[in-house]
């Protein structure tokens, strides 16, 4: 039976965020671990947000496994800041690893 306390989310990251997140990956699952580390050690309400254009630019598709409660809080923060979830995630990764 699948663990319902975890959620797999798919996001399109900017090249900068994708490169920062993928530095020094060693094994399977490291991408999600590094993402969760950034989430735990970043103030989501204060990270500088960047405008994203839907046209132009290269976007890297990634999937992360995160705790469902964290996911809901992340969505709430994005809503309060008036941005899409992917914009907030990109900013968190760049702020922590960039």
Q: What is the pLDDT of residues 58-83, one digit of tens each?
A: 788 988 889 999 999 999 999 999 99
* pLDDT for res 13: 92
Tokens of 68: 């469902």
The pTM is what?
A: 0.86
In this prediction, residue 98 carries a pLDDT of 83
Residues of the chain with pLDDT under 70: 1-4, 27-28, 52-57
Helix (H) or strand (E) holding 35: helix 30-40
Contact 29, 37 (CB under 8 A): no
Q: What is the model's pLDDT at position 56?
A: 61
- Using CA atoms in the order 53, 59, 63, 65, what is the torsion angle rounded to 10 degrees? -50
b/e map 22-41, b = 16+ CB within 10 Å: eeeeeeeeebbebbeebbee
**Residue 3 has what pLDDT?**
59
Element (H, E) at 66: strand 59-67
* Locus of tokens 């994203």: 52
Q: What pLDDT score was predicted for residue 46?
A: 95
Backbone angles phi, psi at 25, to 5 degrees: -70, 140
């Amino acid at each position: 039976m699948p663990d319902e306390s975890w959620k797999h989310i798919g996001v399109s990251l900017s090249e900068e965020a994708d490169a920062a997140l993928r530095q020094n990956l060693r094994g399977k699952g490291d991408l999600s671990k590094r993402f969760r580390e950034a989430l735990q050690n970043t103030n989501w309400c204060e990270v500088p947000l960047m405008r994203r254009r839907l046209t132009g630019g290269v976007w890297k598709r990634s999937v992360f496994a995160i705790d469902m409660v964290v996911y809901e809080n992340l969505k709430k923060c994005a809503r309060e800041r008036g941005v899409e979830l992917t914009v907030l995630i990109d900013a968190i990764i760049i702020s922590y690893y960039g």
